[in-house]
Structure 1
Amino acid sequence: MKTTPPPRNDEKVHDLSRLLRPASIAVVGGGAWCASVIEQCHKMGFQGPIWPVHPTRETMGGIATIPSLAELPGIPDAVFIGVNRHLTIEAVHHLSEMGAGGAVCFASGFRETQAETGDGDTLQDALLDAAGDMPIIGPNCYGFINYLDGALLWPDQHGGVRCDGGVAILTQSSNMAINLTMQARGLPLAYMVTAGNQAQIGLAEIGRGLLADPRVTALGLHIEGVGDLRAFEALAQEAHRLNKPLVALKAGKSEQARAAAVSHTASLAGSDAGARALLARLGIAQVDSLTALLEALKLLHFAGPLPSSRVVSMSCSGGEASLIADSALGRDVQFPPLTGTQKTGLRAALGPMVALANPLDYHTFVWNHVDQMAEVFAAALSGDIALGCLIVDYPRTDRCDAGAWDCTIAAAAEASRRARKPLAIISTLPEALPEETAARITRAGLIPLHGLDDALAAIEAAAVAGQVRTLPAPLLIPGDVRTPTLLHEADAKAALSEHGVELPRANRASSRDMLPEALRNLPLPVVLKAEGLPHKTEAGGVALGLDSEKAVIAAAATMPAECFLIEEMIEGGVAELLIGVIRDPAHGFVLTLAAGGTLTEIMQDSASLLLPVTRTEITKALLSLRIAPLLRGYRGKPPADIPSIVSAVLGVQAYVTAHAAHLDEVEINPLICTPARAVAADALIRIGDET
């Protein structure tokens, strides 16, 4: 990854170092959760002082209590506040005044419950005023676990252990955080952090605080809502600068984005497309399950970002070789053909009876011969690949003797050392790689991955993290559009034309009587359209190929409108495209490029990007579509003028940029693509009042 300049985010960033890596901890409150915080710190061997604060209890968690914050023997670095919401505000104010390093606010009943309590907004504002510059995590959250230093502001059990270095995981869900600590996959957890309702500090800012610890190798994010887009841009830039990969599991849908649009674009883009486009733009690898998140973080911790998704797979079973190849379909994981060097080494080690291919079935007659197995694995690793994959399912230790499988770890470790390539041992079934075996694998310098599907998702994510990237331009941020209105098609086209979008020759008829006049000076045949309909074709508002005045008048008589648009008919098109932009409040302006015309919703062939985009990005997205062969020229037919298509997209972008504060959506459908032109045959704009 290239080094990038400092983040562009101009907002204040809190110093979280004392809070996340405390030398002293105070616990305010007397409930079971407060006693649990003390208990968990003791279990993990926290070395600093712990100060329980309670006005009446004598001890808590085996430690003498202190009656009030004012009587603390020192200024705490981190404070767990486990009292009701009103007392929480008082405690935060006192801690801020005394210069504490930060606090976790356990109580609920703030903005997240405004609809139920009616005073949540007021109390949250009071909490923020009380905090001032002191960082607070929450409210309504469990807090965090620092496994590196044994510091836990955490009111419950967990399944982790101390480590010297590892990955950090950040989630908005406390319950999911507990579950993730229970993983038995050999993943070293450095931090587990919950964000609660993010009254003051959002996911992105906490993420930057975690990346600042040199012992953290990668950051996993479970995201329910992105929040501050500029803060997420800053997080991605900081991760890029530190060469620490980010992996995200994005949940939830944006109701605003689904409800906002009346166009085809909405059904193609929606919130999920916006989220995926945002993560891709920021270089954040995306996975679709919690288990894939854990496996991706594990691979990134032990191997770092991969320079490519080219892998070699080895197993002693043809069934497993076929299974991994089939499981990789639809993923960006490649099994390149074996090179001459690989084949020579493999043939020398395996003899003439084994068919050489990638994935490789190396058979079992070298099993338990560690030196010979190491030669096989090292030969396979000698190609132009980023990672070796050795498929092994280990027997269950409660009923079987796993000693005969020790050879796989010994041989794989030797092969990885010889080839100087990372090698992952992958089980087809997650339960076929016990935690104690995974620990032995990591001690041998190898990477244990649980389950084929999650392992392949991890490889894909690690390759995304390894891509060399240039710094994207800042996102175009949408405004808060109220009561947007739909422009007439002619007005929408005229607005886009001012920014370079090519249009067909056209005239408007404000009544049926004006049709003959509007038809003059237009070449036949023409297209007649009823104005004021967002989906003209479905409503019977479009007639094509009209070659006379009589045909135009007859067609108009069947349409549910009084105003019409007559256009020249664009002929010679080799493809039709959709260009759409919707305002997605959660992610920015989502640009959708798709198969257009009547194929839009049938094919669901689309690519989504976030504005602003470059010519190169537009071209790459166009050529990723399933209809790309038509654009290139299919079976002897002429290609479309791709530079003209790109110019049309840039014209739409220019219009959106000029009206970002008020714009709701734009759509051209279809853009008729000929060998020489790209013409907007239909256009839709929904925009709010600019006054």
Structure 2
Amino acid sequence: MSQDLRPLLDPRSICFVGASDNAGRIGGMPIELLTRYGYQGKIYPVNPKYQEVFGLPCYPDVESMPEAPDLAVLAIGAKDVLPMLARCHAKGIRAAIVYAAGFAEEGEAGRRLQEAVQAFSVETGLVVAGPNCMGFANLNTQAHTAFASVFNAVPMQEGRGRISLLTQSGNVCAAVYGLVRKLELPVSHFINTGNEACVEFAEYLDFLVDDADTEIVLGYVEQLRNGPRFIDACRRLAQNDKVLIALKAGTTDKGAAAVQSHTSALAGDQRVYRSVFDQLGVIEARDFAQMAVLAQLAQLRHRTAGERVAVITMSGALGAILADRFIESGLALPDLPQEVQAALRKGIPDYGMVGNPVDVTGNVVNDPGFVHSVLEALATSPALDAVVIYAPGYMLDRMADSIVAVARAHNRFFAAIDTGHATSRDLLREAGVAVFDDLGLAVAALGPFLSWQERRRHRVLRAGSRGAQPLPVNQPALPDGPLNEAQALQFLGSAGVPVKAERIAHSAQEAIEHASHLGYPVVLKILSADIAHKTEVGGVVLNLPDAGHVAAAYAQMLREVGERAPAARLDGVLVQRMEQGGVELIVGARRDPVFGPMLTVGLGGVLTELYNDSAHALLPLDEEDACRLLRQLVAFPLLDGYRNAPRADVQAAAQAIAAIGRSMTCAPASVKEIEVNPLLVRQQGQGVIALDALILAG
């Protein structure tokens, strides 16, 4: 159930329990900021030590205040928090911010204390931010509740902010705020979530989706506690033409350990987070400086842009460097069409490049008309999505009028990298041109931004937008408890997954009869719901050519399995015809603890863990989504005719993958995981077949 966060983020009156008349203390700094910047709401300092704080009457306790303010800020120790929350609730206060640390991030006693705060919030409806929280700021109303010294170090903005900061760390929030303001970008909300005992990241994001003063959200994430709500908020962000730029911490073992000690968060699987961000249209950042510049670029998101970039330089060397860096970042520098190259050659000497990058040479700025022609040709070419100009400051100034004219005449994305101190920077920015003064930061920001624009142009954001597609009416009910492979294959086959014909044998003679019917060579596999990994107990024998080998393999298999897994219940031996050739994939669907049903595709067979090549997606998905997922694999060329090999049946693979995903979304909650390994993809037109399946239920 949604809580009303307006008293936290847009309070009309605030009290400070533990107020101080010292602006250097956490109980004094926000009060001084409120009075300095003209907050229009009522302010109630609470502390029996003072009669007055920053010119305001100070009250000895919350009970003596003349009214119940919207928000209470608690600048008190952890052990005093719960009793004070009870007094605030009795007074009629609707929300509270808890500065204090010493909760779940500090061991068992702290965890119990945090659980008590959470239970009190649920029972009473008092909205509690934190604990272990720096506080907030609404820069459009000057409602300061944060003890953040950055507000003293950075000039206050003029005008209304449109960028909101939402971080799971107070210090990160302050650091990003300083960088954003250095770029003179206007901020709306300054939010850091602390331990999230009662209000978590996605709930704040939900609020910002509907906030009229938020267009861009800069997020720092350690752990998402409510994946479905996050998914829904991101979908609504996209629908409202808003953008989330996120930095996810905990990508390494050391980083994950640091995250847990910081806010008691669990970092989760970074590959899953990255895939979810990509699918939901979130721009992922890797550091604070990149995040701030991405916010600057996101203001230009309405200009036509994508991954095909034209680079203009005055130096062949710089053109080569930029080409390398842009391509390494995932962008493309396509060769310009011949007619465009011919037009460029009219004003560029033979020693200057015209293919892309374009080396206009230093002489070009002597002919403003030609500069305009060059830019016009690039801005109108259907072979391009973006134009990047790299120039020393004085040359950029000479080109500025032409750049501005073309940028205003055409909606194509333009960026300039100024290696000097061009006086035309503001003029260029006013015309919608992104301006950088550092090559590395320009590439670091343009790479993910233009790739995001490419995905945004060509794909409707689908995550969670469709209900689960119904399974066929003949879908068998799953039995209670663990399933063996035959039951798993039957379930998937009924869902539309092509499965291998198999027979169950309970004796060597029966295995021989089944093999003769199916045709040699055959495979024998132990059939047991208690054995998930059959090869580890000697439960798989491949490529048996005749009856004698089948009889011997049957006996040996039962003996080895009996020795290695004596407690396992055996349902017989599965007999299948041996398959040769094709490309093996692993397809797995599971219930992710954060995001819910997800699907993973990777290179199958014994190479899965060795190459660690996998792609992930939220469920449900359709065949188009499945095709896109396959193309994300490093090993996709193996399916696409690598080194003149026959192309594999990618479309059939996509259909099977979608069917496996559909099985998961429609399966009962007791089903935790479905895995097909391998899914054999044959040559184009010959389809696919699931050779082995596992369904874990409990």
TM-score by length of 2: 0.81
What does 1:92-131 align with in structure 2 at a 5 Å threshold?
Answer: 92-96=85-89, 100=93, 102-113=95-106, 115-117=108-110, 119-129=112-122
Aligned-pair CA distance for 1:214: 2.7
The Cα shift of 1:53 comes to 1.8
Matched residue, 1:446: 433
Runs of at least 5 residues in structure 1 that lack an aligned partner in the other structure: 1-10, 259-269, 395-402, 478-483
Task: Give the conservation status (yes or no) of the 8 Å contact 1:138–1:198.
Answer: yes
Deviation at 1:244, TM superposition (A): 1.0
Q: Secondary structure at the match of 1:545?
A: strand
Maintained 8 Å contact 1:354/1:363: yes
Shift of 1:406: 4.5
Report the alpha carbon displacement of residue 115 of structure 1 after superposing the two structures with TM.
1.9
Report if the CA contact (8 A) 1:78-1:100 is conserved.
Answer: yes
Counterpart residue number, 2:142: 150
Q: Which amino acid aligns with 1:622?
A: L
Query: Is the counterpart of residue 652 in structure 1 residue 646 in structure 2?
Result: no
Cα RMSD after superposing both structures: 3.7
SS in 2 for 1:561: helix
**Counterpart in 1 of 2:561?**
561
Partner in structure 1 of residue 352 of structure 2: 354
SS in 2 for 1:34: coil
1:309-338 superposed Cα distances (whole Å, 9 cap, x missing partner): 333322222222222221123544233433
Match for 2:116: what amino acid? L
| CA distance 1:414–1:491, change in 2 (3 Å) | same
Q: Establish whether residue 458 from structure 1 lines up as the match of residue 449 from structure 2.
A: yes
Instruction: Name the residue aligned to 2:293.
Output: 295
Paired position in structure 1 for 2:61: 68
Corresponding position: 1:25 with 2:14:
yes
Q: CA deviation at 1:142?
A: 0.9
Question: What do residues 61-103 of structure 1 show as CA deviations (whole Å, max 9, x unaligned)?
Answer: 4544233334445553444221234543444445555555643
Residues in 2 aligned to 1:86 and 1:636: alpha-carbon distance in whole angstroms: 70
Deviation for aligned residue 1:34: 1.4
AA aligned to 1:234 is: D
Structure 1 pair 468–602 and aligned structure 2 pair: CA distance change class (3 A) = closer
CA spacing shift, 1:108–1:406, aligned 2, 3 Å: same
* Structure 2 counterpart of 1:595, from 586, 590, 603: 603
Identity level (%) = 26
Q: Any conservation in 2 of the 1:79–1:153 contact (CA below 8 Å)?
A: no
- C-alpha deviation, 1:526, in angstroms: 0.8
The corresponding residue for 1:682 is 692
Equivalent residue number for residue 194 of structure 2? 196
Select between 174-183 and 286-295 the one with higher mean Cα deviation: 286-295
1:194-226 CA-to-partner distances (Å, cap 9, x unmatched) read 011222222122123233333322112222222
More displaced stretch, 582-591 vs 70-79: 70-79
Structure 2 unaligned regions, length at least 5: 257-267, 469-479, 563-569
**Structure 2 CA distance for aligned equivalents of residues 572 and 523 of structure 1:** 14
User: 1:35: how far off?
Assistant: 0.5
* One-letter amino acid of the structure 2 residue matched with residue 274 of structure 1: V
Question: Whole-Å Cα distance in 2 between the matches of residues 550 and 123 of structure 1?
Answer: 69
> How many equivalent residue pairs?
645
Question: Which sits farther off after the overlay, 218-227 or 620-629?
Answer: 620-629
Matched, 1:179 2:175: yes
Contact 1:110–1:123 at 8 Å: present in 2 too?
A: no
Aligned-partner SS, 2:323: helix
Shift of 1:576: 2.0
Question: Does structure 2 retain, via aligned residues, the 8 Å contact 1:82–1:88?
Answer: no
Q: Give the equivalent residue in structure 2 for 1:543.
A: 541
> Is contact 2:114–2:197 with CA below 8 Å preserved after alignment?
no
Q: Judge which range, 595-604 or 404-413, deviates more.
A: 404-413
Which residue in 1 is equivalent to 2:130?
A: 138
- Partner SS state of residue 365, structure 1: helix
Find 1:169's aligned residue among 165, 168, 173. Answer: 165
Preserved CA contact (<8 Å) 1:16 1:101? no
Aligned to 2:678: 670
1:452-500 CA-partner distances (Å, limit 9, x unpaired)? 22332233234445555255436999xxxxxx98643334333433434
Matched residue, 1:473: 464
Contact 1:148-1:190 at 8 Å conserved across structures: yes
Higher relative contact order (CA 8 A, sep 6+): 1
Q: Which amino acid aligns with 1:36?
A: M
Partners of 1:408 and 1:137 lie apart in 2 by 51
2:361 paired residue among 338, 363, 375: 363
Please say if residues 40 and 157 of structure 1, whose CA atoms lie closer than 8 Å, have aligned partners that are also in contact.
no
2:45 paired with 1:52: yes
1:121 to partner: Cα distance:
4.3
Q: 1:254 to 1:365 in 2, by over 3 A?
A: closer
Could you tell which deviates more after superposition, 340-349 or 582-591?
340-349
Contact 2:679 2:689 in 1 (8 A): yes
Aligned-pair distance for 1:652? 2.5
Shift in Å at residue 444 of structure 1? 6.2
357 and 93 in structure 1: CA distance in 2 versus 1, 3 angstrom threshold? farther
Equivalence for 2:502: 506
Deviations 1:568-618 (A, max 9, x none): 324464322221123321122221222222332344443221221112212
Choose the corresponding residue for 2:630, options 622, 629, 640.
622
Letter in 1 for 2:8: L
C-alpha distance in 2 between matches for 1:447 and 1:285: 17
Please give the alpha-carbon distance, in whole angstroms, between the structure 1 residues aligned to 2:274 and 2:687: 31
Asked whether the 8 Å contact 1:476–1:589 carries over to 2, the reply is no
What does residue 225 of structure 1 align with?
A: 223
Q: Indicate conservation of the 8 Å contact 1:575/1:640, yes or no.
A: yes
Residue 244 (1) aligns with residue 235 (2): no
Alignment of structure 1 residues 248-397 onto 2, 5 Å = 248-252=246-250, 271-304=269-302, 306-339=304-337, 342-343=340-341, 346-347=344-345, 350=348, 354-366=352-364, 376-384=374-382, 385-392=384-391
The one-letter code sitting in structure 2 at the alignment partner of 1:16 is: L
Q: Give SS of 1:309's match.
A: coil
Instruction: Assess, with a 3 A threshold, how the Cα gap between structure 1 residues 426 and 76 changes in structure 2: closer, same or farther.
Output: farther
Give CA-to-partner distance per residue, 1:619-653, whole Å, 9 cap, x none. 33234445545545667766544454344334423
Asked whether the equivalents of residues 114 and 121 of structure 1 are also in contact (C-alpha less than 8 Å), the reply is no
2:414 paired residue number:
423
Are the aligned partners of 1:247 and 1:461 in contact in 2 as well (CA < 8 Å)?
no
How many Å separate the matches in 1 of 2:366 and 2:130? Answer: 54
Where do residues 566-645 of structure 1 align in structure 2 (5 Å cutoff)?
A: 566-571=574-579, 573-629=581-637, 631=639, 639-645=647-653
TM-score under structure 1 length normalisation: 0.82
